[in-house]
Amino acid sequence: MITFEGPVLVTGTDTGVGKTVATAALAAALQRLGRSVEVIKIAQTGDDDDAAEVTRLSGAPARALASYPDPLAPYTAARRSGLPLLKLHDVADTVLAAKAEVVLLEGAGGLLVQLGEGGWTARDLAVELGAPAVVVARAALGTLNHTALTLEALSRRGIDAAVLVGAWPAEPGLAEFENMRDLPGERLGWIPDRAADLAPEVFRLSASEWFDFGEPGSPRA
């Protein structure tokens, strides 16, 4: 079980699994429960602006701590661009200085992608902060292995985690239905595919229906 208090890492089993929409949905749902929420994108690469998308969908304040032009892993993108690498302790200090009750930390790619100086990862940041993790997973074939590996990597460092399906298809097949039954770990919920296409007002109203936080009014998974 994880508790949404203080920093919470939002990571993924891979790139493109829906972390940004999942982060926005979590922010929207937690705000409807009366919690103050801030979102920090650890490092942004390429042309996308995930922090702006989170704010557009959820209304929560969001920012990126670093931005690099190439659509690569942050460590690689920083090296290629010559821009400064993020330092783990500086990022941790920034997170701890945030005033919101819940600080959602969106990673980049999968859990063990190198994010900054010395090759530190989202898992290292979670350990530094004592933060639990939300693992965003796919619904399709391959997700059982990827999810189990990610949860094992978190467990080895003593990090509590819950699993969230990032894009549940409008017309799921046999694999998706069976994967939903067999996904390992604590289940937090699922987000419908193309949720980002909803009007922000609809997105924010709908978000609470996509999660199971435990007891009514309690932001727990």
DSSP string covering 40-96, please?
A: EES-EESS--HHHHHHHHH---EEES-EESSSS-HHHHHHHHTPPPBPHHHHHHHHH
Q: What is the dihedral of CA 83, 88, 91, 92, to 10 degrees?
A: 180
- Which tokens in the block code for residue 23? 């982060």
87 a catalytic residue: no
Catalytic positions, written as ranges: 41
